[in-house]
């Protein structure tokens, strides 16, 4: 094709004449995107969000966010004649009396789970590769905000069908709100329009769920995308890749097509789940009443860690001067969430403070090359994981026949021990992997060729690592350490004189010291002769 088709040319001229689209397109059509599978994890969340908007809109056409009482008369026989809220009845109606309604409801719920799971794995990728570093701290903070909002969005959506399971979650939400010191009772009465459950909470949650939070999410996601676009994506270290360039494929046509394909994959996999894996079968739960509850009442997975922390807590409560502070509610509800979210939000700034590193970073760290960061990340995962696991301790107890209390008591210890262990193990693995890298560079890789030397000794011939692997390994960046040493007169620099300064210096040294520097070794090693190819026994010197 040598000329642009008339239709396209017409439209583009029209747009260019009015908004000057040409200069924007000139700059951006061939924008380069680096390729790596882990760079698509965030897109899982992005496309799930789009699916959530589409399916959610469909659901609102039939859903009635009302707590008014009706007598069910729809297609689901075991509930006919049962009194229930209009919200629950309309959710049943969507499931059984609207063609495709059940499918869309299930797709909506699966997409919600994958939305949050996608955000979590994307965030872990960004964390472990240090992609939150300058200049991307703002986008990282937007990401933390998105995750927090998504949890709230999930909670409000989970409560809408007003079934017995979602009601249990709502009741726990109320109980936790009541526990907030000083204002808890007032907040609860405002949210529920009086006493629990009242008649307002479903319609209020509905507005929050379909308008307020999605609106904020949409705005923040757009900002997230724009910043990513402006700052250009980080890339993995490799041949020809530096901190000052970006190597990859152009937006048009390749990246566009790939993104389109991944959108379809996301939608397709979620549709598969919606077809073959039943989710949130509200008709089995029955209508909500505060008088009843089912064994194994659980929140969706992303709230599981809060459930677990509530279960772990011993029964602490303080009474003073006619007031009550319910520690067995407050600590588990606020501390883990606070530790995880605040820790995530502050990490880029703490790291900057510790390393004194104010440079821009556009090349991703391999997780092994910053062992303390990686170990801290795994500590967080372990902390979250233990709480999440304990959130399902009743199902574990019932299905594996382990005593219920033993799981709780195990959890009370594990919440401190497992993260510590995770730190240690992850750190050692990182060091081990670094050692392996150093060895690949200095000794090459095993070629599979065994040689017998004149003196009768057998050796395996090592060949130099392939160019791209070697370059990938050489992408390791040194982690800076702040100046803390004494100067010529024996006086430490100004910043390192206070207690905080000394702490900073110490942390900086621990964080930045490279135990396994890459050694572009000289292969004259007695056991690893580096030969380039099997027909050559010439030794290879350095690089």
Site for other proteins in 497-526 (CB under 8 A): none
Residue among 372 and 472 whose Cβ is closer to other proteins: 472
Residue 412 Cβ vs other proteins, minimum distance, rounded to whole Å: 11
The residue range among 124-132, 141-149, 478-486, 515-523 that interacts with other proteins, by the rule CB under 8 A, is 124-132
Kindly tell me which of 436 and 524 has the beta carbon lying closer to other proteins.
436
Q: Which is nearer to other proteins, 51 or 354 (CB)?
A: 51
Told to check if 130 binds other proteins by CB under 8 A, we report no
* Token couple for 108: 């909506």
With binding defined as CB under 8 A, does residue 95 bind other proteins? yes
Nearest residue (CB) to other proteins, 474 versus 502:
474
Site for other proteins, residues 271 to 290, rule: CB under 8 A? 271-281, 284-286, 288-290
Cβ neighbours around 413 below 10 Å, total: 10
User: Six-digit token pair at 397?
Assistant: 């107890």
- Among residue numbers 381 through 410, which ones bind other proteins (CB under 8 A)? 392-395, 397-405, 408
Closer to other proteins by CB, 257 or 491: give it: 257
Residues β-bridged to residue 445: 463
Q: Does 209 bind other proteins (CB under 8 A)?
A: no
- The secondary structure of residue 369, as a DSSP letter, is G
Compute CA distances 359 → 135, 250, 352, whole Å: 8, 27, 10
Site string for other proteins, 250-269 (x = CB under 8 A): x--xx--xx-xxxxxxxxxx
Binding flags for other proteins, 156-175, as an x/- string (CB under 8 A) = --------xx--x--xx-xx
- In the complex, least distance from residue 255 CB atom to other proteins, rounded to whole angstroms: 9
The C-alpha atoms of residue 217 and residue 235 are separated, in whole angstroms, by: 26
User: Least separation, in Å, of the C-beta of 404 and other proteins?
Assistant: 5
3-state SS class at 324 = strand
317/308 Cα distance (integer angstroms)? 19
Pick one of 367, 371, 380, 512: the residue that binds other proteins (CB under 8 A): 367
Written as six digits, the tokens of 30 are 């061939």
Tell me 458's DSSP state. Answer: E
Positive or negative, the Cα torsion across 130, 110, 60, 78?
Answer: negative
How far is residue 298 CA from its own chain's centroid? Answer: 21
Report the nearest approach of other proteins to the CB of residue 270 (Å): 7
> Would you count residue 41 as binding other proteins (CB under 8 A)?
yes
Where residue 125 falls (left for φ over 0; alpha for ψ -120 to 50; beta otherwise) is alpha
- In angstroms, rounded to a whole number, what is the distance separating the alpha carbons of residues 334 and 480? 35
Alpha carbon distance 463, 467 (integer Å): 12
DSSP 8-state assignment for residue 235 = B
Write out the binding residues for other proteins, residues 296-325 only, by CB under 8 A. Answer: 296-301, 304, 307, 310-317, 319, 321-325
Q: How many CB atoms lie within 10 A of CB 109?
A: 22
* Residue 536 interacting with other proteins (CB under 8 A): yes
Segment 424 to 463, residues that bind other proteins, using CB under 8 A: 444-448, 463
Nearer to other proteins, 16 or 189 (CB): 189
| Binding to other proteins in span 102-121, by CB under 8 A | 102-103, 106, 110, 113-114, 117-118, 121
Q: What distance in Å separates the CA atoms of residue 435 and residue 342, rounded to the nearest whole number?
A: 33
Q: Of 481 and 516, which has the nearer Cβ to other proteins? A: 516
């Amino acid at each position: 094709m040598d000329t642009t088709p008339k239709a396209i040319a017409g439209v583009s001229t029209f747009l260019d004449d009015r908004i000057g689209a040409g200069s924007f397109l000139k700059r951006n059509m061939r924008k380069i995107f680096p390729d790596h599978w882990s760079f698509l994890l965030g897109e899982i969340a992005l496309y799930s969000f789009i699916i959530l908007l589409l399916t959610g809109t469909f659901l609102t056409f039939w859903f009635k966010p009302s707590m008014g009482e009706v007598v069910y008369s729809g297609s689901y026989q075991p509930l006919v004649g049962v009194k229930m809220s209009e919200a629950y009845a309309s959710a049943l109606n969507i499931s059984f009396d609207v063609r495709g309604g059940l499918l869309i409801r299930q797709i909506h719920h699966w997409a919600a789970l994958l939305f949050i799971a996608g955000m979590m794995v994307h965030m872990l990728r960004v964390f472990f590769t240090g992609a939150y570093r300058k200049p991307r701290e703002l986008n990282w903070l937007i990401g933390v905000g998105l995750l927090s909002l998504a949890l709230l969005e999930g909670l409000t959506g989970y409560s809408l069908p007003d079934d017995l399971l979602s009601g249990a979650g709502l009741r726990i939400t109320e109980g936790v709100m009541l526990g907030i010191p000083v204002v808890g009772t007032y907040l609860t009465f405002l949210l529920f329009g009086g006493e629990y459950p009242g008649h307002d909470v479903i319609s209020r949650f509905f507005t929050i769920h379909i308008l307020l939070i999605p609106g904020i999410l949409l705005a923040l996601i757009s900002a997230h995308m724009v910043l990513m676009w402006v700052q250009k994506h980080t890339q993995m270290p490799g041949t020809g890749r530096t901190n000052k360039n970006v190597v990859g494929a152009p937006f048009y046509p390749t990246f566009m097509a790939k993104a389109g394909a991944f959108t379809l994959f996301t939608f397709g996999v979620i549709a598969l789940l919606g077809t073959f894996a039943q989710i949130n079968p509200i008709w089995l739960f029955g209508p909500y009443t505060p008088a009843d509850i089912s064994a194994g009442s659980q929140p969706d997975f992303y709230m599981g860690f809060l459930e677990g922390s509530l279960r772990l807590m011993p029964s602490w409560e303080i009474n003073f001067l006619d007031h009550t502070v319910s520690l067995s509610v407050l600590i588990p509800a606020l501390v883990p969430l606070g530790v995880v979210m605040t820790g995530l939000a502050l990490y880029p700034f703490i790291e900057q403070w510790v390393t004194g590193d104010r440079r821009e970073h556009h090349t991703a760290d391999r997780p092994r090359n910053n062992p303390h960061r990686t170990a801290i990340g795994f500590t967080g995962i372990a902390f979250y994981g233990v709480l999440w696991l304990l959130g399902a301790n009743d199902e574990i107890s019932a299905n594996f026949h382990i005593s219920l209390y033993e799981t709780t008591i195990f959890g009370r210890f594990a919440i401190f021990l497992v993260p510590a262990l995770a730190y240690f193990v992850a750190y050692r693995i990182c060091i081990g992997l670094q050692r392996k890298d150093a060895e690949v560079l200095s000794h090459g890789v095993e070629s599979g060729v065994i040689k017998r030397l004149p003196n009768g000794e057998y050796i395996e011939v090592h060949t130099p690592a392939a160019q791209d692997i070697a370059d990938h390994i050489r992408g390791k960046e040194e982690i800076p350490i702040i100046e803390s040493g004494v100067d010529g007169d024996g006086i430490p620099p100004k910043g390192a004189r206070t207690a905080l300064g000394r702490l900073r210096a110490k942390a900086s040294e621990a964080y930045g010291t490279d135990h396994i520097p890459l050694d572009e070794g000289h292969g004259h090693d007695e056991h690893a002769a580096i030969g380039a190819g099997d027909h050559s026994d010439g030794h290879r010197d350095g690089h």
